[in-house]
Amino acid sequence: MDQFLQHLVNGTVLGATYALLGIGLTLIFGIMKVVNFAHGELYAFGAYVAYALVSLLQMDYFVALVLAAGLGLLLGAAIEFLLLRRCRLENIDEVMLIMIGVMIIMQNAELLAWGGVAKVVPTPFPQESIIVGGIYLSPTRLFVLGAAIVLLLAFYLVIERSRLGLAMRATFQDEDAARIVGVNVSRIYTLTFGLGSSLAAITGALLAPVFVVTPTMGDLASLKAFAIVILGGLGNIRGAALGGFALALIEEFGAAYISTAYRDAIGFLVILVVMIARPQGLFAAKERVG
Amino acid sequence: MIMRRASFLIIVVALALLPVLWPDPYLLSVVAAAGIMIIAAISLNLLLGFTGQLSLGHAAFFGIGAYTSALLSLGFDVDLGFSSPLVVEPKPVWVAFAGGIVMASLFGWLLGKVAFRVRGAYFVIVTISFAQVMRMVALNWVDLTEGPMALVSIPPLSLWVPGDGVVRLVSKAATYWLVLAAGVLAYVIVANLVRSRIGRAAIALRENEVLAKSIGIPVTRCLIVFSVLSAGIAGAAGGLYAHTVRIIDPDVFLFIYTITMVIMVVAGGKGTLAGPVVGGLIFGLLPEVLRGMVAPEVQWMIYGALMILILLFMPKGIVPAFGRVLKRRKISVRRRPSASQGASS
C-alpha cells in the first residue's frame, strides 16, 4: 500500500510538470494550428538557462526560474516573429517541417555549447526526504509540485479572466471574427507562441535540479508533450492538463507494475491506442480530427 | 518520351561506370551509403509526395527491414512464453532479404490501417509514435535484437556470376553496383506506379481528398496500398544497409534518420520522380564535404537552416524550380492516360 501511495505521489509531481508542458503545446496548436516540434527544445533551453545561471554564475535558483520563463517568452516570440509569421497561410505540413528545422538547430546548438555530458543543477532545498506515513517526499519535488500548480492556476486565470485571454479565446474560435472585433491577431500569435514557449522553458528549469540536463532531453519532452495533448485532444487546454496527470500516472504505475524498460514507450502506446479508440482525445466532447 | 528514357539510360550507365573510371574505395562507399538513403527517400516520396501524407515514422520501416533481414540471415531463438523457444535457423541471405521486405510491408499495412483513420497533425504524431515504439522494442527486447549491443557479423549478400561462381558482394565496387541496381529498380517501380491507375488516384486525392472521394476513388484503400509499397521499399533499403554495413543497432530507428529522408524529399521536390534522387545526392554527400570543415553539430545546424530556407523560399523543391526553367513537365493529374500507358509499357 505504501508502495502504491509512493507511486501515486511521484506520478502526481511528474504529472503537474507534464501538464505545464502539455498546455503550452496545446495552446500553440489550438490558436495557431502549429505543431510545435521545438517545444521540447524550449524545455531543454529552460533547463540550460537554469544550469548556466545557478551552476556557472552562482545565481539564486528562484531568480533563475523567473529568468528562464522570461527568456523562453522572448525566444518563442522571436521564433514566431522571424519564421512563422512568413508562412502563416502555408499548409500545416510545411510549418511542421520548419519547426523540425528549428528543433534540429536548437538541439545541436545546445550540444555545441555545452557538450554531450549531462549537467547537474544544485537544488536550493535540503536533500533529506520528509517521511509522511511511510511515503518519502523530497523537498525539491514538493516545490516543483507547488510551483507547477501555481503556474497552472495562473495560466487558467490569464486565459479565463484577462483581456489577453479573451482575445486568445476569440482567435481560437474564429480568427476572422476576432479580427473584425478589433483583435490584433498577429500580436496574439506572437504572444501565444511566446507564452507556450515560456511554459516549456520554466518547466525545464523547474525539473533541472530533479533530473540532469542533457542536449537530447528535449526529444523525449517533445514526444511526451505530443502524447499528452493527444490524450487531451489537440487544442483542448483543460484536456492537456488532465492528460499530463494521466500520462504521468500511467507511466509511473506502468513502470512499477509492468516494465521499467518500456517506461518511455508507454506514452506512445497510449497515443496509438487513443488514436484507434477515440481520435478526438479522451476529454473532448467536440474536436475536429484531421 | 524517348528523350526522357534515353537520358535516364545515359545517367544509369554513367553511374554504373563510376567504379571503373574512378575506383576510389572511399568515394564508392560514400556514394553507396548515400544511395541507400536515396532508396529510403524514394519510398518516403510515395507517401509524402504522391499521396501528400507527412509520414514521420519512416525510419521504422527501414529499421524493421534491416532487423528482420539481419536476424533471418543470422538465425535466432526467442522465448515467446510457450513450452519451447522459437528457434529459427540461419536462412540464405536473399531469402532473409525478401523476408525483411515482407515484414516491413506488413507493418506498413498495419500502420496504414491505424494511421489513415486520421489526417494532418494527428497522422504525423501517430507515425512518430509508431517509430518510437519500434525503437524501444529494438532497444529492450535484448533476447531477440541484442539491444544496444548491436547485431554483428551480418552476412553480405551474394550473387552467382558466370565464370566466378557465387561471389560475396563485399568489395566497395560490388556494394556500389548492388545499391545502384536496387536504386534503379526502386525508381522504375515508383515511376510506373505513379503513372498507373492507382497512382493517378493517389495524386487526385492529394490535390483534393473530398473531390477524389466524390468521384469514387476508394481513398483509404488507395492510401494503404501506397503505405504498404512505401514500407516495402524502405524495408529493402534497410536490408541493403544491414547486409552492406553488416552491423546494426537500435539507432537505425532514430527520428533523425526519418528527418534526413524528409529533408532529401522536400529539398529535391516532393511529388517528383527525380526529387528524392537530387535531394538525396545533395544531402547524402554534403556530410562528407562538411566533415573536414566543421563539427558534426554545426553540420546538423546547417541541415536545419537549409531545410527552413528551402521551405520558405523554394517550397516546391529544387527539381520543380529547375524543371520550370527547362520546361519539363511534372507528373500531375493532367497527364493523359495514353501517355501513362506509354511510360509503363
- pTM for the model stands at 0.85
Q: What is the pLDDT of residue A50?
A: 93
Indicate the pLDDT class of residue A290, thresholds 50, 70 and 90: very low
pLDDT digits (tens, 9 = 90+) for A179-194: 898 888 888 999 999 9
d(Cα B68, Cα B200) in Å, to the nearest integer?
Answer: 32
SS3 A136: strand
How many structural domains is chain A composed of?
1
Q: Would you say residue B166 has pLDDT above 80?
A: no
* pLDDT tens for each residue of B80-113: 777 777 778 888 888 899 999 999 999 999 999 8
Q: Which residues from B are below 8 Å from A111, CB to CB?
A: 297
The Cα of B219 is separated from the nearest Cα of chain A by a number of Å equal to 14
Answer whether residue A167 is part of any domain: yes
| B37-78 pLDDT, tens digit each | 999 999 999 999 898 888 898 999 999 999 999 999 988 887
Q: With an 8 Å Cβ cutoff, are A105 and B301 in contact?
A: yes
Residue A277: inside a domain, yes or no? Answer: no
Domain membership of residue B10 as a residue range: 2-344
Sort out which chain A residues have CB atoms less than 8 A from B130's CB and list them. Answer: 268, 272
Give chain A positions within 8 Å (CB) of B116. none
- Is residue A78, in this structure, part of any structural domain at all? yes
| Contact check, Cβ <8 Å, A104/B137 | no
- Bin B271: left if φ > 0, else alpha if -120 < ψ < 50, else beta: left
**Residue A35 contacts B where some CB pair is shorter than 8 Å:** yes
Query: How many Å apart are CA B264 and CA B306, to the nearest integer?
Result: 11
Number of folded domains that form chain B: 1
- Could you give the CA distance from residue B301 to residue B307 in angstroms, rounded to a whole number? 10
Residues 182-241 of A with CB under 8 A from B: 219, 223, 226-227, 230, 234
Q: Higher model confidence: residue B91 or residue B253?
A: B253
Query: pLDDT band for position A115 (50/70/90)?
Result: confident
ipTM summary value: 0.84
Domain presence at residue A222:
no
The three grid cell numbers given for residue A119, joined into one nine-digit string = 549537467
Give the C-alpha separation, B233 to B187, whole Å: 10
Sign of the Cα torsion B238, B241, B247, B248 reads: negative
Confidence check: pLDDT of A76 > 90: yes
Contact B301 A275 (CB under 8 A): no
B301 touches chain A (CB under 8 A): yes
Residue A240 lies in a domain: no
d(CA A109, CA B4): 44
Task: Provide the CATH number for the domain around residue B320.
Answer: 1.10.3470
Distances (CA, A) of A21 to A98, A198, A248, B260: 21, 10, 12, 27
CA nearest to B142 within chain A: A261
Boundaries of domain holding A137: 20-216
Task: Say yes or no: A34 contacts chain B, CB-CB below 8 A.
Answer: no
A68 pLDDT more than 90 = yes
Contact A60, A269 (CB under 8 A): no
- Does the pLDDT value for residue A100 go beyond 60? yes
Contact B136 A264 (CB under 8 A): yes
Average pLDDT for chain A: 86
Residue B115 scores a pLDDT above 80:
yes
| Phi and psi, residue A102, nearest 5° | -60, -40
pLDDT at B104: 94
Yes or no: say if A239 and A231 are a contact pair by the CB < 8 Å rule: yes
